Amino acid sequence: MALIASPVMSKGIVVTVPALVLSVLGITFFLFFLRFTLSSCSCPSSNTCLSIENGVVSGTPSSGNANAMPLTTTHEDVEWVRDQIRVNGLHMHDNVLRKGINPRTRAQQLQDLREFKGISHYEGVDSDNHTALPCPGELLVEEHHSNYGEPWAGGRDVFEFLAQSTKLRPDSLVLEIGCGTLRVGLHFIRYLNPDHYHCLEKDELSLMAAFRYELPSQGLLFKRPLIVKGDDMDFSKFDSGVIYDLIYASAVFLHMPDKLVWVGIERLAARLKPYDGRIFVSHNMKFCSRLGGEECTKRLTSLGLEYVGKHTHDSLLFNHYEIWFEFRRSRA
């Protein structure tokens, strides 16, 4: 078969028509493959593309939401912090926290606030109308961060464990029983879509700290979390049609009578997403173990629940680990 030659190139190279056609087809295929690869991330614009390796969730924001937060701290994050400490020549044992050039304890800061009304203040007729959300001095010096047993920083550990265990997404619905001053809740509220974090809390001081200090100071008022003051596991103020992806109680049930714990579980069982939803309880499950294994299983089964297992989770920042017990709704 005769070949039709193309015009002679400047260096004397002759390109045949078939070769030219094959080249064009090759370039076209390459461009199509490249376009498909770049668009292959199917994550919704409001979510984070996640990968799971060795049980650790890591992620980078999808192109549609450059500010989306990964669920957990990665090994690379920890190594970066260590490297920054090293290159800056920082030594933990040499550091003593201080307030500028005037070291003050929380008690001293609080006394200053009461005596001098803060750093600056209004007088006379303007003394009461310059602050959008007046805040008690005890909250301004963050005394409420010491109201609970473990360091305030432990809230991040709890969030990361639960979020990873349940494959949490921004559109998940979460209910916390006893959110206190939002040590854990702040991290859920920040990650979840507006209105997707709910809490039942009975302590008024904790609720005041949450509404008057933590949410405004963290810029999270726009997330509109549903935080309800209530006691005795009364969830009547929550929409009965809401089905939760995660319900958790962090060190709460151990302070409650077993009978009341079972009342709460009975009221919440039908509000948990079938099979995929999870209930997590930390520290102990004596409300169940005191009945005996067989009796506890029977009680859970009657509520449409089943026990999944026990987990331990190490803290990122301090020598501490938590024990968690996992439950889910049965398939049947």
Alpha-carbon distance of 196 to 188, in angstroms, equals 9
Q: Taking the model in full, what pTM does it have?
A: 0.75
SS3 29: helix
- Is the CB of residue 283 less than 8 Å from the CB of residue 252? no
Tokens of 285: 């499950």
Phi, psi at 142, each rounded to 5°: 60, 40
The tens digit of pLDDT for each residue in 2-23 reads 444 444 444 454 555 555 555 6
pLDDT of residue 20: 58
Instruction: With beta carbons less than 8 A apart as the criterion, state whether 42 and 49 touch.
Output: no
For 2, 13, 88, 224, the CA distances from 5, given in Å and listed in that order, are: 9, 10, 67, 72
Q: What is the pLDDT of residues 264-281, one digit of tens each?
A: 999 999 999 999 999 999
CA distances from 37 to 29, 50, 55, 124 (A): 12, 17, 26, 66
pLDDT of residue 295 exceeding 90:
yes
CA distance 266 to 300: 9
> What's the Cα-to-Cα distance from 328 to each of 185, 244, 287, 305, rounded to whole Å?
21, 11, 17, 6
As a dihedral over the C-alpha atoms of residue 190, residue 194, residue 197, residue 198, rounded to 10 degrees, the angle is 140
Q: Rounded to whole angstroms, how far apart are CA atoms 34 and 40? A: 10
The pLDDT of residue 117: 67
Residue 28 has pLDDT above 70, yes or no: no
Mean pLDDT of 214-235: 94
pLDDT given at position 34: 53
What are the structure tokens assigned to 122, written together? 């209004």
- Measured CA to CA, the distance from residue 274 to residue 303 in angstroms comes to 12
